[in-house]
Amino acid sequence: MKPLMITAIGLALTVPAVASAQDVTIGAALFNQYCSTCHGADARGEGPLTEIMLEKPSDLRKLAAENPAEPGVFPMLRVIHVIDGRTGLRAHGGSMPTYGQLFMAETEDEMEEMGAILETRGRVLSLARYLEDIQE
């Protein structure tokens, strides 16, 4: 193989790792902003708002360990659905607010709307990647 081709393959292989490291960083910032009031800065479910809450927020570091379907496996899809809420799975009931609509910017323009949808997905995914990263 030519050296140039090897470099290209090497680059292609490193890109996903970089992208997910960025996801985790972005997810951590989003978590601080939107989730820590209930779930706590360390995600263990002891945020300041819990004093006045009837239902205790989940310890988000145990999502993998306490996954009823597959113990030890991070329930990526369920987490994405819980955060997004637009899938209809848990849009109503439960005291966990959902973020799909909040992250989704209002726009009339069709192209902009597609951009907003992608950005919303990106944020939800970054949050889920961050949570996956802090499992114990």
List contacts with ligand HEC (CB under 6 A).
34-35, 37-39, 49, 55, 57-58, 60, 78-79, 82-83, 94-97, 99, 127
Q: Give the nearest distance from C-beta 13 to ligand HEC in angstroms.
A: 30
Between CA 64 and CA 70 the distance in angstroms is: 8
Longest dimension (CA), the chain: 64
Nearer to ligand HEC, 67 or 116 (CB): 67
Q: Which is nearer to ligand HEC, 96 or 117 (CB)?
A: 96
Name the nearest CA neighbour of 130 among 46, 16, 35, 28: 28
Q: How far is the CB of 45 from ligand HEC (least distance, A)?
A: 8
Residue 2 to residues 7, 120, 131, Cα–Cα distance (Å): 9, 41, 41
- The two three-digit tokens of residue 75, written as one number: 């329930």
Cβ proximity to ligand HEC: between 117 and 135 the closer is: 135
